[in-house]
Amino acid sequence: MLPKLFYSICYTLWILTKTCFIDCKIRPKTYEKYLSGVMNHISEQVGWDSMQHLEIKYDISTEISTNIKDVICKGSRIVLPKKFDAIIHILNYMYAEVIKTFIDHIRAIANQCQEYYDINQGDNFLSCTVLIQSVVENSKTMFEQLYNVMNYLSNIDFKLLVSGKQTFSIPIVDEIYTFVEFATLKIQQNTQIFIDLNDPKTKEDAYKVILDVNSFIEGMGNESYQTIKEKNSFIVYNRKSKCLLEENLKDYNERQNKNIELSYYLSEWLNVYYVEISKNFYKNLGFEQVLDLNEKSSIKHPVHKYNNIRQKDKIEQLNAITNESGWKSLKHINIVFNDQVISVDRILRHPADKLNFHCKKQHLLRLIKCIYTEIMIKYYEYVNFILNFCESENVKTNDLIYINFVRQIFDAVHKSIKMFEVMYKTLVTLNKLIGEYLHDNYNSNLKCLCTSISKLLGEIKSEKYILDVLDSKSDNSKQELTLINARNYSHTFSKFLKFNKSKSHPLNRMHEKQCPLRNLLLNIDIPLSINTDNFSYACNELIVFSKNVIKVYYEELGLNKFIH
């Protein structure tokens, strides 16, 4: 009966692996045609004329550089992916300059407010605080537009367009979002500074605003800018650099009748600057049309082909999954996709739509794949640890204790079967919903992980580890055979786990590359020490971990609603 059951399970898993993994994809030619249309649209926009002083070096070891207009124009012989790569380089550079200008001017206004505070000029201090609060809030629309551009560029899948190993520049998505978040926070706080000099709390609240702004500018804001600077080594600026703050200060100081405060002058300049940036670096570069989700948009986005279901329905299913509360606990995890380190926070930041669907569905599948691979690795380590304890001198020299402990281990192992069955079904179902990514090699793709899970399930469910023969209370005539079985169980399963845990195993090698940060919400830490008294507890921890994995990484993510 058992051999038939084992072969039935293996055959079923093989059939699932062969038939349930489908490719839901955009054809590369369709995707290239879409991006060619986007590039043609972008290259015709007048905004690029203002950037003709910028050139790009494709090889920093040479002095050869190319003007951005010559790169992206229709007559250029540069291949499409390299054109988009050049745009990312240029916009990384230009948007970094916008951030620097913002930081410089906000810092100058904050310093002016601080000066008023220090010399106890109450009216000027409160007015200055209202200005800086307002001018930060007003930056939100501009930074959102820049962020939306970079987020769109980060979702271009260059691997659909190129063959071989090529690297492309990384858009400054999260760096710009830092400023979107700060402006949004200021709006949400909606700080109202009521000018009442007789109320000590008014001055205290106003000063908190200045401290908060300074903390951001000198902390996260400056850190983001410094990170961006490191990514701009390919850009050549063939004009004398300008410092807009210095020019504004010079202009202010040259005014004969200074009838306005410096903080007001700089705030008003920033408000005008925001409008100009939105016009020159967003609308006039053509991204307003590219990002338009209206069905009547002149730019038609590519559609994924599915059997008997529309892409729109797939998008709704994907959003239904990510609306579950359990996803919030995964925000600190990162994955790697197309050479980008992408946080789950970024993946969940926006709902799926026809612009981001192609990459977002791959992000979610890769995230689950990373989590489930990490669970398997931790499982291997933990079970191996308690198996090794059984082989220690003080255990293996006592036959009854040894048999009892090995039986406890395999009782826990058998009770973990449901966890791996759920993991396997989840991956197969998500593949049906999402479709695996064809440009991952076999060692990194979904089939490799599912094959590993099916092998583990097949190993556990085989007749190699039958619990009934591990009875430590059997009579003396059978005890020797029971002991032999226990030792065989321990050695065989340990060998299986060690092979699959080895760094040379394909799944482990790719896991290191695709999942750089793997701080799981759930963990099963190897005990600092283990002895005969706490051994049963250590085995039970494996059972508890298995149940919690199903709860946290299946039910609370809402995946159980899609798997039947």
The predicted pLDDT at position 295 comes to 79
User: Side by side, which strands form the sheet with 66-67?
Assistant: 66-67, 54-56, 235-237
pLDDT in tens, 387-411: 999 999 888 888 889 999 999 999 9
Amino acid identity of residue 161, one-letter, is L
How does residue 65 score in pLDDT terms, banded at 50, 70 and 90?
confident
For residue 341, give the H/E element and its range: strand 340-343
Question: How far is Cα 542 from Cα 385, in angstroms, rounded to an integer?
Answer: 12
Which residues neighbour 261 within 8 Å (Cβ) at sequence distance 6 or greater?
112, 124, 127, 128
Question: How far is Cα 494 from Cα 383, in angstroms, rounded to an integer?
Answer: 8
Residue 509 has pLDDT above 90, yes or no: no
Q: Once rounded to an integer, what is the mean pLDDT over residues 286-299?
A: 88
The predicted pLDDT at position 14 comes to 42
Residue 439 has pLDDT above 60, yes or no: no
Please, is 102 exposed, middle or buried when counting C-beta atoms within 10 Å of its C-beta (0-12, 13-18, 19+)? buried
Q: Once rounded to an integer, what is the mean pLDDT over residues 1-14?
A: 41
Residue 350 has pLDDT above 70, yes or no: yes
What's the DSSP call for residue 449? H
The tokens of 333 are what?
């995890």
How does residue 2 score in pLDDT terms, banded at 50, 70 and 90?
very low
- Spatial CA neighbour of 35 closest among 171, 161, 164, 173: 161
Which residues neighbour 137 within 8 Å (Cβ) at sequence distance 6 or greater?
183, 186, 187
How does residue 129 score in pLDDT terms, banded at 50, 70 and 90?
very high
Question: How far is Cα 83 from Cα 440, in angstroms, rounded to an integer?
Answer: 24
The predicted pLDDT at position 131 comes to 94
Which residues neighbour 67 within 8 Å (Cβ) at sequence distance 6 or greater?
52, 54, 55
Q: Once rounded to an integer, what is the mean pLDDT over residues 54-73?
A: 76
Give 85 or 242, the one with higher predicted confidence: 85
Which residues neighbour 129 within 8 Å (Cβ) at sequence distance 6 or greater?
113, 193, 206, 207, 209, 210
The predicted pLDDT at position 241 comes to 60
Give 488 or 165, the one with higher predicted confidence: 488
Q: Once rounded to an integer, what is the mean pLDDT over residues 35-51?
A: 92
Q: Once rounded to an integer, what is the mean pLDDT over residues 359-366?
A: 87
pLDDT in tens, 250-292: 999 887 666 789 999 999 999 999 999 999 999 999 999 999 9
The predicted pLDDT at position 438 comes to 57
How does residue 25 score in pLDDT terms, banded at 50, 70 and 90?
low
How does residue 417 score in pLDDT terms, banded at 50, 70 and 90?
very high
The predicted pLDDT at position 308 comes to 74
pTM for this predicted structure: 0.87
Q: What is the mean pLDDT of the chain?
A: 84
Residue 104 has pLDDT above 50, yes or no: yes
Residue 494 has pLDDT above 60, yes or no: yes
